[in-house]
């Protein structure tokens, strides 16, 4: 079973669809799971108690967890000095603490089998230091640091931990960002074009594949940085 957070829309849903098409068993987490055509459970990853409830259920059900994709995330384009405190907290709690909560509580479900792959998500805003994304970049920089250290903690258990850092991908996170702003970011990538969610799903499949056993603690930039 592959656990995917943020599974109801955006990158998370694109990843779920790709995994299902590839024959994987998927269990989705999202704040709203009504109508999803695959097994899922309502969960706010920023809440430790919510994530713990899911982990407890999966443990009781004897779920065989082989992967975790931490795709849940939120963003807000704004200068740091004009970002409301509650918005800052929501971004950090969802993006950074949400990733930590899921790794803390779902990794033990892989430890018993001593195999698995965890994929976290960052952003090109960290590498490029993008103006107007200070708080978002800070939360994701934390994810990158956590990924590198957690990868070392899990290596002895044959569990790979890596991170994907996309540039602008056509999802709900780009709402409110003009095409001119998007193009300015794309122009700074090594490959200066906007990629689709499928490109991200390609990397997720790679990191889940046993043939990527030599990759751990890596941050892979979609488009290059």
Determine the 3-state secondary structure of 101 from DSSP: helix
State the catalytic residue, choosing from 121, 136, 150, 195.
136
Which residues, including other chains, have CB under 8 Å from residue 28's CB and lie 6 or more apart?
3, 4, 5, 7, 8, 12, 16, 36, 38, 39, 40, 41
Burial class (CB in 10 A: 0-12, 13-18, 19+), 112: exposed
C-beta separation of 223 from 193 below 8 A: yes
Number of H helices, E strands in the chain: 8, 7
Whether 136 sits among the annotated catalytic residues: the reply is yes
Q: Catalytic residues, which ones?
A: 136
């Amino acid at each position: 079973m592959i656990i995917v957070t943020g599974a109801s829309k955006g990158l998370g849903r694109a990843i779920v669809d790709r995994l299902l098409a590839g024959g994987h068993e998927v269990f989705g987490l999202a704040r709203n799971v009504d109508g999803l055509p695959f097994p899922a459970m309502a969960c706010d990853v920023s809440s430790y108690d919510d994530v713990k409830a899911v982990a407890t259920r999966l443990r009781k059900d004897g779920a065989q967890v082989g992967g975790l994709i931490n795709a849940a995330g939120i963003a807000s384009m704004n200068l740091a000095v004009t970002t409301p405190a509650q918005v800052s907290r929501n971004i950090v709690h969802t993006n950074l603490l949400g990733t930590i909560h899921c790794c803390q509580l779902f990794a033990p479900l892989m430890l018993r089998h001593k195999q698995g792959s965890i994929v976290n998500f960052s952003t090109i805003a960290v590498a490029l230091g993008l103006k107007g994304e200070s708080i978002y970049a800070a939360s994701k920089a934390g994810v990158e640091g956590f990924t590198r250290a957690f990868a070392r903690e899990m290596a002895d258990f044959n569990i790979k931990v890596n991170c994907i850092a996309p540039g602008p991908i056509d999802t709900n996170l780009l709402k409110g960002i003009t095409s001119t702003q998007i193009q300015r970011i794309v122009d700074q990538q090594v490959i200066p074009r906007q990629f689709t969610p499928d490109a991200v799903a390609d990397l997720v499949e790679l990191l889940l594949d046993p043939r990527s056993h030599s990759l751990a603690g890596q941050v892979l930039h979609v488009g290059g940085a």
